[in-house]
Every structure is written in structure tokens, then in C-alpha cells.
Amino acid sequence: MTVIYMPKQSNGTVHSSKDLNQLIDYVMNPEKTNDFEYVSGQNILDIHSTCDEMLATRTMAIALKNKPQKNEKFGYHFVQSFSPDDHLTPEQVHEIGLKTMKEYLGSSAEFIIATHTDKPHLHNHIVLNATDPLTLNKFHQNKNDLERLKEISDKISKEYGCKIIDRPND
């Protein structure tokens, strides 16, 4: 059974550079990711400089667009969790997460994905830069987008033999 969501405590939104750095440190924890084996990114040159790269993208967007930022959003946090009953390997869980986010976001988004293996239920943490590095536009998401993400996650998870639960309308 696969579930993908944005953590409720923050509504999945990161509102400061400090929070972004703390979140990235948490999701990349080497004790949870088998010494960074299950950490990768899209449009990230070096996973160990993820926060700096995301902040540089944001800074470039502010400078080139020459307009003040409203409602500061530095990033978004998603969690994709799997049941131990699905008998997936960490590699499979990581691959499912990457495929899900690439289909959902396309090739221009800047994100990292970290698969945590420290609990019986394997799960992915995804940190998405709020600023697209190619267009320099902010990422916007509404309830329909989150539903689309869940559908993509279910579709890809099903390809790996995961059980899919029927979801009531949120």
C-alpha cells in the first residue's frame, strides 16, 4: 500500500532558508539513507550542496525578475510511504519515488529524493525547490494537483506490485 502526502504540521511548505536547510539535513540523514546511498536529485549537481543550489536558484530568480517575493515559499516537502507487506527493496522504493516525481513535475524541477530505510515501512522524502531553475517561476499547487500526484504515485506503485487502496475524496 502506497501513500503520498504533504506533512500536515507545515502543510508541506518550507518558509525560510533555515527551515529548508534543516529539512534537507533531516531527509538526507546518512543513518536513514544507508550513508546517502538512497539520495538522489534532479537538476542538483551535488546532493551535498542541495540547499545552496536551491537557494542560488531562488536568488537568481529574484535578481532577474527584479520583483520582491510575496508569501515566501522556499520549498515543498512530500512523503511517499510504502507498506512492509509490499516487500519492496530500498532501490525499488527510491525508483518509484523518482519516477513519480519526474512524471508529476517534468524535467525542469529541482528536487531531491531520499529513501529512509530505518523503519519497517520504507518511505521517500522529497524536497522540491519552490523556484523552477529553468523558468525561474514559482511552483504552484492546488488540491487537483495533489490528487494528480496521488494518481501518478498509485499508477507507478502498481507497476511494482504494490497494493493500492481506494481513497475517499479528501
- Residue 5 falls in the annotated catalytic set: no
Give the active site residue among 5, 26, 76, 160: 26
Burial class (CB in 10 A: 0-12, 13-18, 19+), 78: buried
Q: How many Å from the N-terminal Cα to the C-terminal Cα in the chain? A: 17
Gap between the Cα atoms of 29 and 2, Å rounded = 22
If you ran DSSP here, which 8-state letter would residue 76 be given?
E
**How crowded is the C-beta side of 49, counted as CA atoms within 13 Å?**
8
- Interior CA angle at 29 toward 24 and 35, to 5°? 130
Amino acid in the structure at residue 127: V
**How crowded is the C-beta side of 60, counted as CA atoms within 13 Å?**
14
Which residues are part of the catalytic machinery? 26
